[in-house]
Structure 1
Amino acid sequence: MRGDYGTLRVAAGIADDLARHGDRPALRTTSGTLTYAELDRRVATARAELAAIGDAQLVRISPAPTTDFVVAWLAAFTGGHATLLTDDDGLARAYGVSVTRTPGGWRPTGAPAPSLHPDLRLLLSTSGSTGSPKLVRLSAASLDANATAIASYLRLREDDVALTTLPFDYCYGLSVLHSHLAAGASLVLDDRSVTDPALWAHARRQGVTSFAGVPYTFDLLGAAGWPALPTLRQVTQAGGRLAPDRVRALAEQGAREGWELVVMYGQTEATARMAYLPPELAAAHPGTVGVAVPGGSLRIDKVAGAAPGVGELVYRGPNVMMGYAESPADLARGAELDELRTGDLARTTPEGLVEIVGRRSRFAKLFGQRIDLDRVQTLLGLAGYDAACAESVDGRHLVVAVPGSPDAAHLADVATATVADTGLPAHAVRVVPVADLPRLPNGKLDQQAVARLESVPAPDPGSPQASIARLYARILGREHVSPDATFVALGGDSLSYVELSLRLESRIGRLPSDWQNHTVAELAARLDPAGADAPRRRAWARVDTTIVLRAVAIVLIVGSHTNLWVLVGGAHVLLAVAGANFARFHLADEGPRERLRRVARAAARIAVPSILWIGSVALITGAPGWRSVFLLNDLLGTHHWSEPDWYYWFVEVCVIAAVGAGLLTAIPWVMALERRHRFPLAAGLTAVALAPRFWATATSYDGDVIHSSAFVMWLFLGGWAAAVARTHGQRLLVTALLLVGAWGFTGDTQRDLIVMAGVTALVWLPSVPWPRALVGVTGTLASASLFIYLTHWQIYPHLENRWPLGGLLASIAVGVLTWRVAELVPAAVQVRLARLPRSGSRAVRQAEPHYTPNHDHRQESR
């Protein structure tokens, strides 16, 4: 299987005569553009400065998406030096780096350069060697060959513009730089997250034609929204297996929108890429990795015990590494390999495409399961955890050895990942920290030593990252939270969003508007590096507008019911808030089954406590009726207001809205439409939902309008549209729809104005300044608002005539107390009632919404 499938030859290396491209743009940043001629001059200057220090140096460069990094790397590469790309000071010291790159230029370390083979140019860590000194040795020839091959099969042109979405110390990210330089194309250097709208605004200004992603990248884009890039020509994917249905969906999306998806397969040991799937085959063969890259070949060697047609995948090509390095002495060794045994089990499809089906592995038998130990190690490595696995000597545990000095949070993350990868119960996984992985004299892992490891007390987790992870774990009810997890991926909902966002704000300071899509590590990086646990406290904080609206609304509602004041309209504002939360936490980039599970969890979070409380009240007092107990009054009851059956109208509307919107968006073609046209779909649904509201006005409908789901659904859908609006024009449109719907809707001008003010704030103000002294109580009110609403009907009537303020305070106190008690429900019961089993991988998964039902003044329908 040779790599000659529809290729286009590119006859250039990474840095061959950069000046030949003249004034064409090479590197684009937010501060300006560097042409190839200018890049060539800067590389020549940096190369001369490095040569003045000495020949054949071991250079350490910290990877960064900057022009200085690119200049330094090309200068070292073309100057005949070996480069270690790392931010790890310990690794640099271990290998005896002789020169480092600093903001001021080259700086000798004082250490003599180790003996280097003349072909050696680059040292990279493999995906599974984090924290380990083992490095991949790469030659200039292998780097040039792979860059040329990639530029060839991607058909890169001089007018292509790539966006740097991956780090440069990762072979995939570095290959984007190399292949585009080989083709005379340009790169946009930007270190912002793919969830940051500013990154994509910069990409649009630069006319970006391609970007690269790993599976996690596409999970993030699924959560944050696919970027609008009119010039996009190509999207590449590698760095792990992307589910076939996701590959097919992306390929079909690309076909509709005019760009190609190129799925690729590689290892650091092969410089970067070994195979690629021609884009025209992606939709039809999404489970394969395609054919060998140009200049390379793939074969499948028989493996004893494997299924017919399945064997170990072996790659041969000029981009195969020279070998591994585990000490400075290895840097003087020449090339030791001419082919790479990948360790992957593969087969060839009838179409001649390679399909990876597993790993050539060791196995353990635990709890009736056959555990592929090498597969577990590979999956942990791909997730960033260096580890070794073995079956314990007593045959009752899977032992996972983690080298280095991992903290408790890291060990917990490894344990969680292992449980997820194996399906074993948590108590069957024993994660043990070790200084170094035990090895035999021949350098191979000592399996018996790993098997004999016993549990030891975990080190004290004192890092900011661990601290933030523990905060997530406590509030979200998770045993462990990994640094690369996000709030949305962990299943956060609107209640946990309240508490977590306020606590993060108190510790970190002002949060990004989309913090729920940022990883734990990214948020932890905002903490004071000196160790301060909180920013300087100011009198005012920035609080999410939805939190303030929920807290203020529940106070206004209960206060109106106790006759302390009459300020109604809050419930209708909160319908829009419910719609916004649906869009923020519910519209995940997933399949229909996962969407339906998510809808079920969302409905349960509202319905279960409501049914339990209303049912208990009905058993004791005889009212309301069974329709209200089971939240069916809106669908099956009278169309005219009656007490107490209509007290819980908001709960019913929220359940109907959540289930209805979830079921609608679980229809495959609607799901595809929503992914491509998020705002037009939401705005269109809002406009359609306004029809019943205006029909009722035009026909003088005599039923209850302002509490019925058929006539108020436009508020929920308008909140959805507000959450996905990205431009001023879109915000103006959704504001107009909401204001047109609200004007004259309730028949009470004051109430209409309150609704209009609330929805306008929701559309235009992501957060509001709020007195820090009130942040805690605001968060408590917002978090407990469901329970305040449910219980206040039984509290305030005893005080509304004699002491209205007491009725308000007592209702809030009982509601907050009930909420706190509910939070203490045993985990097993909570899981059964509210968190139905999740599906999907440990990669980014969106969360279900939670809506806080509230009720306007009890006389409002009369």
Structure 2
Amino acid sequence: MSSSSVHVERPAVGFVRELGRFGDFPALITPGETVTYRELAERVERGASRLGGTRRLVLVAGTNEIDLIVTYLSALFAGHPVLLAPGDNPDSLEALIAAYRPDVVVRSADGRTVVEEVRECSAHLLHPDLALLLSTSGSTGSPKLVRLSHRNVQANAESIAEYLDIQGTDRAVTTLPMHYCYGLSVIHSHLLRGAALILTPHSVTDPGFWDLFKAHRGTSFAGVPYTFDLLDRIGFDELDLPDLRYITQAGGRLAPDRVRAFADLGRRRGWDLFVMYGQTEATARMAYLPPELAATDPQSIGRPIPGGSFRLEPVADAPDGAGELIYAGPNVMLGYAHTPDDLRLGDTLGGELRTGDLARQTGDGLYEVVGRRSRFAKVFGLRIDLQHVESALAQHGLTACCAGGTDELIVAVQNCGDVDTVRHATARASGLPAAAIRVCPVDELPRTSTGKPDLRAVAELAHASEPPPAAQSTTDPDTDAVRALYADILRCTHVTDDSTFVSLGGDSLSYVRMSLRLEEMLGYLPENWHTTRVGDFAPAPRPRRRWRTVETNVLLRAVAIVLIAGSHIHLFTVLGGAHVLLGIAGYNFARFHLGAAERTDRVRHTLGSVARIAVPSMVWIGSVIALTGDYRITSAFLLNGILGPDGWSAEWRYWFVEAIVYIVLAAAAVLSIPLVDRIERRHPFWFAMGFVALGLLTRYGLVDVDDSRNRILSASVVFWLFALGWAAAKSTTIWHRLCVTAVVVATVPGFFFGETRREIIVVGGLCLLVWFRSVPCPTMLSRVAGVLASASLYIYLTHFQVYLPLRDDHPWLALVLSILVGVLYWQAVTFVLGLRRRPGAVRTKSDRNPIASMFGSNQAVAAGKQLPARRHTH
């Protein structure tokens, strides 16, 4: 039977019949092939002939490949209803095949398109208007499908092409799956207008994606909110895309500040941002926000698409001025299908769709979605707005997705550093007790193939995680042992399976001791163990080794304190360690103080950490002054950096402690500003690099400081090294690390008045910190390094009074005693703190300060470099 005779009386989607009118314009583009509209029309007609004249249910496992798109269009051309299934999810595909028993199955296998004709005639009664079946958002693989008519598909393609003003010269790259209504609408609307589609399976994070985009002069692409997160990661704002005309966003709410930021970027770069709103039930789109309004109304979904309209239906418990958003238009689905029997049904909705979203209309006629009726959960009788909770957590820089359990609220949090902080923030937002909230830390939120949060997978996380704190398990002896270890070292009794080292108030000094003990217990040291839940630790699946991994900053701290003391005793002279430790101070500041905690908690923890540095220092220095009178009283209050004396003197031995105290106090003051806090959470790496740039102003003298007070020892001058360590901790990509390394190599040389060896040590130490999180080390050496690193602050404070009487006659004894006295002072301070936080006592937030992680590594090095014989270098 010829193609023409097959289709002459068969209803079909209009634009599919008219593909040939665009002639030799490109339609489908891949790296290896370009198909013109003339060729596409011919292939579609041939494919329609192969599918035959008997109307059947055709399942197409959709992928962004030429043959699959041609087969999909062929089925629409011939009037066969198409069930578009995910081509990248075999389980979902098989589930749909089992549920709907399609007559024809089309899929890609080993690079070939395979057409499997299950039966010659349809096993189903198919309504004449039925054109397309799509899974609803979040239900991929579910038997529940959206039934779309030929009119639905055509009308939606026309309205989208109209408000986007799609032209024949446009070329859109495929960023979304074909089986997803948003991705499919891009295909439909561009084929309607004779525009080209650039087909690629690559993600926007793949450099090959952008090479293809530029090579074929791409003019647009589509993204869901997760796509925009990925764009941030790759430095999209720095890409040169001269032909880009517009970007579209849908598939979920993009935060208003992100909308405003991308709209502003587009304005500067010459492209538009279209924020859109839609549902599969409306074929794809229902509303769009004109680009010129994105900066002023970023929270809005905009106005209805051409041919559509909205109304608000009152809802009893909706916020003031809000109601359920009802949409009407020719793109509204026929209805749902739950079983094959539903394929016989016609229009059951009458062209009107209840979106389930709560919205309000603004004074200028725009619409704003404020919640969702179905995104509520009842926990302990309270009705919880899950979207509101997620938005509240987003204000704290947390990417989260919530689901309701039978007696708890489940919160999946991406890159969660402090479980307790998240739990209490969720409690405040929801009104639930903290014990009713289960926090499930994840590396990445579970998402569907379309990039949306997978709500079903979030709910299932509860079954895979430990019980909440109120129902803590005590049956796993390994977990019990870890809890006991945490309670012992951190002096607390409220350790739960959800606790982490950071959430319990761990710091750099206890960090070292804990890492060694934990590795001994487990047989290995897990990566990022300090932010790992206690309940997630597991014994090593391999035998114990004679070598361990020691974190680079710990090893550097241990080496530095030995070099400082040894240099002062004149056993050797190795300078530069103090300034390396400034970098380590910034590194640990970023790790322990810039987590997910609220802004006020961050500041409180930081001030507590400063106290952990300053108080032991002031006590020791004050005692030395009282007994010997060696220093001015300003030393006891760490004020030499402000009050002098000018030039080198004995008081400047403690310059490093003062520098760290000043720098961290300044950082705390800046981060206490709400706007600054939000910026740091949104762009942690580039925020740190901004501080590096500020530090370079004083490093190069662009902002004058008082050189008479030992320039290379002044906090305002050495601050850039602290900021470099901060940036190193926030480096998440190779490019970030290369950027930090480049700044280190470019800015350290010349700072130490031509002391090349010192500059090499500083550059080398900082680069080790950037590139190596840990290094292998013999077990015995790792233990020694742990003790030295833990006691480094105290060794630094005490060694001046120990080595001076012994340096000339017994230098090695002076070194040993300097270390021993420092370790004893460390134990004494630890004992006093243990009395204050003894087991059984209730710890307040002020007790749980991430310790002077910065100092444990840095303090020691600093003073040691400045020997009297080298005074002229300062």
Task: Report the alpha carbon displacement of residue 711 of structure 1 after superposing the two structures with TM.
Answer: 2.0
Instruction: Determine helix, strand or coil for the equivalent of 1:352.
Output: coil
Distance 1:223 1:16 in 2: 41
8 Å CA contact retained: 1:373, 1:389: no
Describe how 1:417-496 pairs up with structure 2 within 5 A: 422-428=430-436, 458=463
| Residue of 273, 294, 302 corresponding to 2:306 | 294
| Residue of 837, 862, 865 corresponding to 1:860 | 865
Q: Structure 1 residues 102, 235: closer, same or farther in 2, change over 3 A?
A: closer
| Residue of 685, 688, 692 corresponding to 2:697 | 688
Distance 1:42 1:812 in 2: 83
Describe how 1:196-211 pairs up with structure 2 within 5 A: 203=213, 207-211=217-221
8 Å CA contact retained: 1:361, 1:373: no
Q: Which residue of structure 2 lines up, in the alignment, with residue 26 of structure 1?
A: 28
8 Å CA contact retained: 2:792, 2:860: no
Distance 2:524 2:106 in 1: 33
Instruction: Determine helix, strand or coil for the equivalent of 1:856.
Output: helix
Distance 2:175 2:665 in 1: 40
Query: Is residue 2:651 matched to residue 1:648?
Result: no
Q: Structure 1 residues 374, 289: closer, same or farther in 2, change over 3 A?
A: closer
Task: Report the alpha carbon displacement of residue 681 of structure 1 after superposing the two structures with TM.
Answer: 5.7
Q: Which residue of structure 2 lines up, in the alignment, with residue 281 of structure 1?
A: 293
8 Å CA contact retained: 1:493, 1:585: yes
Distance 2:387 2:672 in 1: 41
Q: Which residue of structure 1 lines up, in the alignment, with residue 758 of structure 2?
A: 751
| Residue of 144, 149, 170 corresponding to 1:139 | 149
Q: Which residue of structure 2 lines up, in the alignment, with residue 311 of structure 1?
A: 323
8 Å CA contact retained: 1:94, 1:328: no
Query: Is residue 2:582 matched to residue 1:571?
Result: no
Q: Aligned letter for 1:189?
A: T
Distance 2:66 2:841 in 1: 52
Q: Structure 1 residues 756, 136: closer, same or farther in 2, change over 3 A?
A: same
Task: Report the alpha carbon displacement of residue 150 of structure 1 after superposing the two structures with TM.
Answer: 1.9
Query: Is residue 2:362 matched to residue 1:349?
Result: yes
Q: Aligned letter for 1:26?
A: L
Distance 2:409 2:404 in 1: 8
Q: Which residue of structure 1 lines up, in the alignment, with residue 555 of structure 2?
A: 551
Q: Which residue of structure 2 lines up, in the alignment, with residue 106 of structure 1?
A: 114
Q: Which residue of structure 2 lines up, in the alignment, with residue 51 of structure 1?
A: 51
Q: Which residue of structure 1 lines up, in the alignment, with residue 716 of structure 2?
A: 710
8 Å CA contact retained: 1:300, 1:347: yes
Greater Cα shift, 669-678 or 421-430: 669-678
Deviation by residue 1:461-510 (Cα, 9 ceiling, x = unmatched): 9xxxxxxxx9xx999x99899xxxxx99xx9999999999x99xx99999
Q: Structure 1 residues 850, 54: closer, same or farther in 2, change over 3 A?
A: farther
Query: Is residue 2:254 matched to residue 1:242?
Result: yes
Q: Which residue of structure 1 lines up, in the alignment, with residue 162 of structure 2?
A: 152
Query: Is residue 2:186 matched to residue 1:176?
Result: yes
Q: Structure 1 residues 362, 163: closer, same or farther in 2, change over 3 A?
A: closer
Q: Which residue of structure 1 lines up, in the alignment, with residue 202 of structure 2?
A: 191
Distance 1:739 1:165 in 2: 43
Task: Report the alpha carbon displacement of residue 250 of structure 1 after superposing the two structures with TM.
Answer: 3.3
8 Å CA contact retained: 1:166, 1:212: yes
Deviation by residue 1:226-271 (Cα, 9 ceiling, x = unmatched): 4323334323322333333443343333323323222211122112
Task: Report the alpha carbon displacement of residue 325 of structure 1 after superposing the two structures with TM.
Answer: 2.2
Task: Report the alpha carbon displacement of residue 175 of structure 1 after superposing the two structures with TM.
Answer: 2.9
Task: Report the alpha carbon displacement of residue 682 of structure 1 after superposing the two structures with TM.
Answer: 6.5
Distance 1:177 1:824 in 2: 66
Task: Report the alpha carbon displacement of residue 738 of structure 1 after superposing the two structures with TM.
Answer: 0.9
Task: Report the alpha carbon displacement of residue 667 of structure 1 after superposing the two structures with TM.
Answer: 5.9
Distance 2:703 2:14 in 1: 67
User: What value does the CA root-mean-square deviation take over the aligned residues?
Assistant: 6.5
Deviation by residue 1:311-363 (Cα, 9 ceiling, x = unmatched): 32211112212222222332333332211011223332221112223445798
Distance 2:251 2:363 in 1: 26
Deviation by residue 1:149-176 (Cα, 9 ceiling, x = unmatched): 2232122334444444444444334333
| Residue of 324, 344, 347 corresponding to 1:332 | 344
Query: Is residue 2:222 matched to residue 1:212?
Result: yes
Instruction: Determine helix, strand or coil for the equivalent of 1:692.
Output: coil
8 Å CA contact retained: 1:569, 1:751: yes
Instruction: Determine helix, strand or coil for the equivalent of 2:861.
Output: coil
Q: Which residue of structure 2 lines up, in the alignment, with residue 258 of structure 1?
A: 270
Greater Cα shift, 288-297 or 685-694: 685-694
8 Å CA contact retained: 2:576, 2:865: no
Q: Percent identity?
A: 35
Deviation by residue 1:739-793 (Cα, 9 ceiling, x = unmatched): 4443526xx442123124445667xx7459x865669987996999576445664
Q: Structure 1 residues 797, 742: closer, same or farther in 2, change over 3 A?
A: same
Q: TM-score, normalised by structure 1?
A: 0.67
8 Å CA contact retained: 1:25, 1:34: yes
Q: Structure 1 residues 634, 115: closer, same or farther in 2, change over 3 A?
A: farther
Q: Aligned letter for 1:607?
A: V
Greater Cα shift, 321-330 or 269-278: 321-330
Describe how 1:493-512 pairs up with structure 2 within 5 A: none
Structure with bigger gyration radius: 2
Q: Which residue of structure 2 lines up, in the alignment, with residue 126 of structure 1?
A: 136
Task: Report the alpha carbon displacement of residue 710 of structure 1 after superposing the two structures with TM.
Answer: 1.9
Unaligned 5+ segments in structure 2 are 1-12, 394-398, 413-419, 440-459, 467-478, 487-493, 804-810, 869-874
Instruction: Determine helix, strand or coil for the equivalent of 1:88.
Output: helix
Q: Aligned letter for 1:241?
A: R
Q: Aligned letter for 1:343?
A: G
Query: Is residue 2:91 matched to residue 1:88?
Result: yes
Describe how 1:725-744 pairs up with structure 2 within 5 A: 726=735, 734=743, 737-742=746-751, 744=753
Distance 2:276 2:389 in 1: 22
8 Å CA contact retained: 1:274, 1:293: yes
| Residue of 813, 836, 839 corresponding to 1:802 | 813
